[in-house]
Amino acid sequence: MIEIKPLGSSSAGNAYHITDGYTALLLEAGIRYKDIQRALNFQTTKIAGCLISHEHGDHCKAVADIVKAGVDVYASQGTLDALGLPSHRAKRIRAKQQFRIGTWTILPFDVQHDVAEPLGFLLANQAGEKLVFITDSYYCRYKFPGLTHIMLECNYSMQILDQNIESGRVPAVMKKRLLRSHFSLENAKDFLLANDLSKVQEIWLLHLSDNNSDEGLFKREIQELTGKPVFVARR
């Protein structure tokens, strides 16, 4: 059974611990390594690998400490080049080429973001569960059959963003970047409607904006849309 534990999920830093009861992984390492250790009760030796979606600091802040701790880091060549991570523990992965870490079979896939070579991840375990992880992207071209767990960025609402721009709370220049770099509530709804949710057990909403989101509204609207348990990752 998949267990998901957010360690950080905001512009300040993103990191998530997942396990199927056999193999533990980190998705992202965008908070201090000391904070990762503390959140996991210093059981970091059980981490079998760390997947990094892209090179922005709020997703890879602790990556050097992760490899020093003896944990392999998996990322695209573009991300590894941007990080400048000279280590035998830096493992290059490619979109649409699956690999294994312990009991997980992992399929990276390309996503759209303003960085070198960003990735999303589809993870399947030996129990037949499937988890998709998508963050820092404004669109996903793929559909994923048989999903049981969804971890999906829901950074902002277009309505809230427009209201904030009109009031002067958010600079108008921010809108263009958000539209081309992050999943909105509206994007999230479209993605969920495009996929078969019949086996889904949990939906996690990730990386909510401090200014342009509404946690209660987002959770309520996604629950009403899908009929599934929805959790908001906040740390």
Q: What residue ranges define each of the domains in the chain, with the CATH number in brackets?
A: 3-232 (3.60.15.10)
- Do 113 and 58 meet the contact criterion of CB atoms below 8 Å apart? no
Ranges assigned E (strand) in 76-217: 90-92, 99-101, 104-110, 119-124, 130-134, 149-153, 202-206
What residues form DSSP beta bridges with 15?
8
Q: What is the mean pLDDT of the chain?
A: 93
Assign 102 a pLDDT band (cuts: 50, 70, 90).
Answer: very high
* Integer Cα distance of 32 and 61 in angstroms: 6
- CB-based contacts of 81: which residues, under 8 Å, 6+ apart? 116
The pLDDT, as a whole number, for residue 235 is 60
Res 180 pLDDT > 80? no
Assign 62 a pLDDT band (cuts: 50, 70, 90).
Answer: very high
Rg of the chain's alpha carbons, rounded to an integer?
17
The pLDDT, as a whole number, for residue 172 is 83
In order of 52, 73, 131, 139, 216, the CA distances from 235 in angstroms are 19, 23, 21, 25, 15
Tokens of 222: 């996604």
* Integer Cα distance of 12 and 3 in angstroms: 23
Tell how strand 99-101 and strand 90-92 pair up: unpaired
Return left, alpha or beta for 166; rule: phi > 0 is left, psi -120 to 50 is alpha, else beta.
alpha
Assign 19 a pLDDT band (cuts: 50, 70, 90).
Answer: very high
Please report which residue ranges of 22-114 form alpha helices under DSSP H: 33-39, 57-60, 63-68, 77-83
pTM: 0.95
The pLDDT, as a whole number, for residue 215 is 94
The pLDDT, as a whole number, for residue 170 is 84
